[in-house]
Amino acid sequence: MSYDSSIHSGSARGRARKENAVYIVTGVGGYVSSRVAEALLRSEPAESIIVTTRSADTAATWRARGVDARIADYNDSGSLRRGFEGGRSLFMISGMEAGPRRQRQHGDVVDAAAAAGVEHLVYTSFLGADHPGASSVEVADHQFTEQRVRESGMRWNFMRNSQYADAMAENQAAISIASGVSAGNTGEGRVSFVCRDDVAEVGAALLRGAGEPNTGYDVTGPEAFTYREVGEMISALSGASIEMRDLSDDEMYALWDGLGVPRSADGDFSASPVPWASDGMVTLGRMIREGHCANVTDVVERFTGRPGRSLEDLMRAAQPGWPAPGGVTA
């Protein structure tokens, strides 16, 4: 599980690997993938990078920077095959639509990568996906995808990312402050929330050859918190009075139903305050409650050379965008 420092040294081996490398980053219309591509551009020539996106405008922006940007859609297997041609190491961002649709999409991505001759695949999985007792809508998709990658014949690395700290600092904080309630079905389970930028930096390092082949890494923040502690942090920083509610799974479903959040990824999100379906959130809460998301690792520091960003740091950075207590925008 060591970092291959020759990639960033002046050794002949490191130079040869860099010159021969062609990197593919999928889904650069999204935050994490765009940051992975940005990280690659800081150390690699633009002509060694391929990015894929569904958006013609996004593709044009990357082409203007000298990057080979291609239109590829997880729902179009032909476009995936064409998008991956000529690449050797691929960053595969997980899709948003949890359930059978995402499993089909992920299977198509893996098959297209293998057919295009990709040698190395880095996949954004989820913390606990390698735990035999872990069970959630989200983790089922990641377990399916990890197995598909293992069977593909490609060399692989799995990034088993913890829950994003950014979601706590932005969505969770805004909802808690505006409503005066922080509710969850996580009990006393702890989560090692991780910053998305840190995830992207680790992803870029793995693409460049850091770490060991055919190895999964738990990518976490520097501390683990209960949801109650997260609510208390939001309350202390915002000055809002926030009631902490520990709910059952059924009560949690009822709360999300009342807020207009659909239960499945193919539901109607037009009135939803969050972009995630409640099936995924409630079953994740159960998984947290059962202790599958508390692991804290040094993976971020090991692969980036600096400590992972703390949840409190992200909270303070997000504070200017928080609503005023009572739901009045500051």
Query: Pairing between strand 120-126 and 89-92?
Result: parallel
Q: What's the pLDDT score for residue 327?
A: 52
Q: What's the pLDDT score for residue 245?
A: 93
Q: What's the pLDDT score for residue 153?
A: 95
User: How far is residue 87's CA from residue 85's CA, in Å, rounded to a whole number?
Assistant: 6
Q: What's the pLDDT score for residue 133?
A: 85
Biggest alpha carbon distance in the chain? 61
Are domains 5-161+196-219 and 168-173+179-188+223-296+308-321 of this chain identical in fold?
no
Contact 300, 155 (CB under 8 A): no
The residue with tokens 């309350």 is: 235
User: How far is residue 144's CA from residue 303's CA, in Å, rounded to a whole number?
Assistant: 26
> Under 8 Å CB-to-CB from 216, ≥6 apart: which residues?
125, 129, 130, 146, 157, 158, 159, 160
Q: Per-residue pLDDT tens for 206-262?
A: 999 999 999 999 999 999 999 999 999 999 999 999 999 999 999 999 999 998 999
The residue with tokens 């409190």 is: 312
Phi-psi region of 192 (alpha: psi -120 to 50; beta: other; left: phi over 0): beta
5-161+196-219 under CATH 3.40.47.10, yes or no = no
User: How far is residue 110's CA from residue 148's CA, in Å, rounded to a whole number?
Assistant: 7
Q: What's the pLDDT score for residue 8?
A: 37
User: How far is residue 250's CA from residue 183's CA, in Å, rounded to a whole number?
Assistant: 13
User: How far is residue 286's CA from residue 290's CA, in Å, rounded to a whole number?
Assistant: 6
The residue extents of the domains of the chain are: 5-161+196-219, 168-173+179-188+223-296+308-321
SS3 208: coil
Q: What's the pLDDT score for residue 254?
A: 95
Q: Per-residue pLDDT tens for 184-195?
A: 999 999 999 999
Q: What's the pLDDT score for residue 329?
A: 41
**DSSP conformation class of 309:** P
Q: What's the pLDDT score for residue 20?
A: 46
Query: Which amino acid is residue 72, in one-letter code?
Result: A
Residue-averaged pLDDT of the chain: 90
User: How far is residue 259's CA from residue 170's CA, in Å, rounded to a whole number?
Assistant: 17
**pLDDT per residue as tens, the chain (330 positions):** 333 333 333 333 333 334 445 999 999 999 999 999 999 999 999 999 999 999 999 999 999 999 999 999 999 999 999 999 999 999 999 998 888 899 999 999 999 999 999 999 999 999 999 998 888 888 999 999 999 999 999 999 999 999 999 999 998 999 899 989 998 999 999 999 999 999 999 999 999 999 999 999 999 999 999 999 999 999 999 999 999 999 999 999 999 999 899 998 888 999 998 788 899 899 999 999 999 999 999 999 999 999 999 999 999 999 999 998 865 443
Q: How many helices (H) and strands (E) does the chain have?
A: 14, 11
Dig out the tokens for 183 from the structure. Answer: 């509710």
CATH architecture of 168-173+179-188+223-296+308-321: Alpha-Beta Complex (3.90)
Alpha helices in 129-171 (DSSP H): 137-150, 165-167
SS3 207: helix
User: How far is residue 183's CA from residue 6's CA, in Å, rounded to a whole number?
Assistant: 48
**Angstrom distances, CA of residue 192 to CA of 49, 221, 287, 289, 294:** 32, 5, 13, 13, 6
Query: Which amino acid is residue 155, in one-letter code?
Result: R
This prediction's pTM: 0.89
Q: Which of 284, 224, 237 lies closest to 256 in space, CA to CA?
A: 284
Strand segments (E) across 202-255: 215-219, 225-226, 243-246
